[in-house]
Amino acid sequence: MSDFRQSPDRVTAKTALRAHLLAARRALPPAVRTAAADRVRAALLAAIPAGQVTIAGYVPIGPEPGGPDLPELLAGALPPGGRLLLPVLLPDLGLDWALYQPSAVGPRADWWRAPPGPRLGPAAIGQAALVVTPAVAVDRRGVRLGRGGGSYDRALPLADPGAGLVALLHDGELLLDADLPAEPHDRHVSAAITPSRGLVRLPAGSH
């Protein structure tokens, strides 16, 4: 069993693992990415809570799981009165949030820095019953490895304690036989979705 927590240099171990997994993502053929995105989205849409719910999503970029059309599909799956929040990257790499507006969508990458409509503030994530988060890897406890900027490390603790936190992954990125480095303040995700496994519930908050 691998245990990245016992590495003599945890930062180096995380950096090396992140680089390996991101390289594997970039090497995926386009047809494999498309098929994987379809399966991930199907599992995610089935997990959306019923009722007039607010969910927090994001705009996948490049080979990130879910594909660039994820916001449109999430918004279309919401019941009447439902709201989709998307993250806005702040200069200090923290996250603000904006309400998804399909009629005002421009280049998808612009949502990260210049979304249409008013910003709602970093605490708006606390309104979401479901938070869909990007990740490079997730371990069996729900510890999440991000891209290294720390944006979601700061955002996730502001989510409602009862919200579902779901990470989208490619196959091979859900590490059920490994422990990623974790800090006491980390907010663990409660589930992960991969193309082959679908929705996998994890013991978030038990560690």
CA quadruple 66, 71, 74, 77: dihedral positive or negative? negative
Strands (DSSP E) contained in 58-111 are: 83-89, 95-99
Q: Is the pLDDT of residue 7 over 90?
A: no
Torsion of the alpha carbons at 59, 61, 67 and 73, rounded to the nearest 10 = 10
- Confidence grade of residue 106 (pLDDT, cut at 50, 70, 90): low
Edge to edge, the sheet with strand 54-56 lists 95-99, 83-89, 54-56, 130-134, 164-168, 191-194, 198-201
By percentage, how much of the chain surpasses pLDDT 90? 63
By mean pLDDT, which of 36-45, 106-115, 147-156, 197-206 is the weakest? 106-115
pLDDT one-digit tens code per residue, 11-42: 677 889 999 999 999 999 999 999 999 999 99
Average pLDDT, the chain: 87
Dihedral pair phi/psi, residue 138, rounded to 5°: -140, 140
Assign a CATH topology to domain 2-201: Rossmann fold (3.40.50)
Assess contact for 154 and 95: CB atoms under 8 A: yes
Pairing of strands 164-168, 130-134: parallel
